[in-house]
Structure 1
């Protein structure tokens, strides 16, 4: 049984990671600081160390030197992401940004231990003959027994060993990042880092600095030179999620990376060569965006060498119950309810639901039902899918609210609309005079759900003028 040491000063995070790994079958020890880890444990005797970057006393990266024979995975908040990239230059095997989901953490741990077990430490040339190819197969990373997903797996297996740039398309929650991970792990670059970047999550003013790095004094606040995420991925793969959100200047710079395999830091006059395999993903129609000038046509054709489309869950009808069973088993074991099962009525509800949030929505529904279930059987009421905005549910605030704040349509017209049409119409009509919080309240959803639906439907937020 692999032994893992967690070094984290925040009690809640340390406890959550410990329980997650213990439920997954690992032997786990923990400490609040580097010094406590050395006093109470022997860090170099573990198979893996998971450490926060910022700790009281010595930084988490100190463990790279103090336990030279043990791989170190660095955890960090997004605000410290650039420091995490620097830590990989110091020898950390991987970093993971907070907040992370359970699947992301478990996948990172499994991949690191698999590489260690196969003796794959430096080069990817001869290590591929071990167990890693089977463990890294897309069918073991993603679930899918339907014909559409089998075609996706076949395409990933064919394109992964090449250097071809890949564009992954799919709605929010379909598993685009898992597909990118499978592409990386089946490639000759598997022993090098996979750097994942959510382009929509980085402020527009910082995106170029984050991707390409900057020199000291390049702009106000640039007190020292920084390595960019593209440079940090040198030798490995760069996954650009939601690439359709990149601003125009960053698109031009990225095009040069694809054409010339070189980058130039913000504020620098010198370029340097990089060897990076580019994987991009989007839920938006990039081809349509080129016609409106939102996305560079030359960049689109550079990215769209090989396209992989992840089908939405509503097109994977035969996979729904299989995925639900997989999530139910995992959540049941995690929460000490191993005998949970779905009632026949709950199964029918799952199969009928349209799943606008795709696999992520299904997983959330199962987790919620597992928490609420007092016995061993999950019923439709515990799944509570209508509250997530199913096809047939329209919040009363939209139907019976103030006429000035609701779409001006008669009842017959409203009945002909799908919920997505209704949502889009309402947001576009009211976002000029309502805040995001007010919009979410009127729609009967959370601000997070509002943001996710904006992303899925391609509705940009109204830019506020200062």
Structure 2
């Protein structure tokens, strides 16, 4: 069981984080400062150190040196995200911005521990190789190299597992996900891992073919079937015989073509446009869409019987904004690819670019990220690619500064908690109220705002909304 050290001076955050990790089978120790951690524990003995950046006494980055190579995950508020750049320069393995939710923290912890285990395994394998000239390969290969998709977040790990289970079958597959998430990559992985891998995979974008030509393109036509049909021609379904047919954006397929496609799935045969003869085909169908086919079927815009034929196996690809640190890994891979195309070997992302890549929501998903990196490589005149050069519509100084630090649990709890041990489901609003009531007697408004990682204006607005009056006495007034 991995042993994690939490160093955080706010009891309410520390306790909630400890319970979260313990519920997920981690052994946890905690301290309120770097000094306390030094006095109570042997810091290098932990598998991971999770520390707030701003601590009483020494900052959390001191634990990077004290950990002697053990990974350190730095927690920081949105208001001090720029400090995360310095933390990573000093050797922090990663940072996580407050407020964060349960899944975000668990994904970061899981990934860091997994990467550390992989590194240790590689080091052990190198050591064994240096001692033994021959021998069996130890252990199974748990990589996703044969799938060909970058990313290791939990949703993608689940996706890889499903791909490996589904690929060897001949079942129809429906891949769902936003535009640009990489649905064709999943289809390619399903084909490559299937018994049809040596046969062709034919990819068709249903939205890119004019409606008047879609049936001819898919199913072929006979000579004279329509004006301009001077010769017979096989369609794309025939071309995929023995292999895989991938229909992207199948929600755009006209109803007439849907009826023909249903015949392919039900009878395993096609009939060219203008022909009276049918012919057998052996095709596995993989379809993809960003639309809700079930809703389209209810309003008559998609055949319900075809929907259920396609929906034998459904795979849902997460959006890039839901994949955590995968976005930086994917960006690095794109940078390597585009650098090679441009003949550049010196390019790297500047720290502000890495932060911006992680924080931007990427509405265009992986496709938008790839285009941004390609553009930056072409335009970059120095070794470092800045956030500005990526063209990301985000300012680091404006990163949601109206938010405040704390742990955002999965469900909200009561807003009446003002003292004592926090509940397991304490919400962000609860935390804000608890913190302000506990500290406003001995902290100024400026100090409260700074500690919460918000502006004084935001602090005042949240007081108004939550009905927390400002104390008239106990703290010297500010000018």
**So what's the TM-score if we normalise by structure 2?**
0.52
Instruction: Please state if 1:279 is matched with 2:286.
Output: yes
Q: Highest CA radius of gyration, 1 or 2?
A: 2
- In structure 1, the partner of 2:164 is 157
Local SS of the residue matching 1:281: strand
Misfit runs of 4+, over 2 Å: 134-140
Task: Write out aligned runs for 1:294-333 (5 A).
Answer: 294-333=301-340
| Aligned partner (choices 384, 387, 392) of residue 385 of structure 1 | 392
How far 1:189 moved relative to its partner? 0.6
Q: Taking structure 1 as reference, are residues 284 and 383 closer, same or farther at Cα in structure 2, changes over 3 Å only?
A: same
Q: Taking structure 1 as reference, are residues 217 and 230 closer, same or farther at Cα in structure 2, changes over 3 Å only?
A: same
How far 1:334 moved relative to its partner? 2.0
| Whole-angstrom distance in 1 between the partners of 2:147 and 2:379 | 29
Local SS of the residue matching 2:318: coil
- Tell whether the 8 Å contact from 2:173 to 2:315 is kept in structure 1 after alignment: yes
Q: Taking structure 1 as reference, are residues 288 and 386 closer, same or farther at Cα in structure 2, changes over 3 Å only?
A: same
- In structure 2, the partner of 1:221 is 228
Local SS of the residue matching 1:300: helix
| Aligned partner (choices 264, 267, 288) of residue 274 of structure 2 | 267
* C-alpha RMSD over aligned residues: 2.1
Task: Write out aligned runs for 1:46-445 (5 A).
Answer: 140-386=147-393
How far 1:333 moved relative to its partner? 2.2
- Tell whether the 8 Å contact from 2:147 to 2:160 is kept in structure 1 after alignment: no
- In structure 2, the partner of 1:58 is none
| Whole-angstrom distance in 2 between the partners of 1:322 and 1:194 | 28
- In structure 2, the partner of 1:396 is none
Task: Write out aligned runs for 1:18-57 (5 A).
Answer: none
| Whole-angstrom distance in 1 between the partners of 2:148 and 2:348 | 24
| Whole-angstrom distance in 2 between the partners of 1:260 and 1:135 | 39
Structure 1 unpaired stretches of 5+: 1-133, 393-466
CA deviation digits over 1:136-189, x for unaligned, max 9? 966551111101111111111110000100001111111111111111111101
| Whole-angstrom distance in 2 between the partners of 1:276 and 1:135 | 30
| Whole-angstrom distance in 2 between the partners of 1:192 and 1:163 | 14
How many residue pairs end up in the alignment? 257
Structure 2 unpaired stretches of 5+: 1-140, 402-479
| Whole-angstrom distance in 2 between the partners of 1:214 and 1:269 | 11
Local SS of the residue matching 1:329: helix
| Whole-angstrom distance in 2 between the partners of 1:267 and 1:137 | 46
| Whole-angstrom distance in 2 between the partners of 1:286 and 1:244 | 7
- Tell whether the 8 Å contact from 2:147 to 2:189 is kept in structure 1 after alignment: no
Q: Taking structure 1 as reference, are residues 297 and 391 closer, same or farther at Cα in structure 2, changes over 3 Å only?
A: farther
How far 1:349 moved relative to its partner? 0.9
| Whole-angstrom distance in 2 between the partners of 1:288 and 1:391 | 35
Local SS of the residue matching 1:141: coil
| Whole-angstrom distance in 2 between the partners of 1:160 and 1:191 | 14
**So what's the TM-score if we normalise by structure 1?**
0.53
CA deviation digits over 1:343-376, x for unaligned, max 9? 1111111111110110111111111111111111
| Whole-angstrom distance in 1 between the partners of 2:260 and 2:379 | 49
Specify which structure has the bigger relative contact order, considering alpha-carbon pairs within 8 angstroms and separated by 6 or more residues.
2
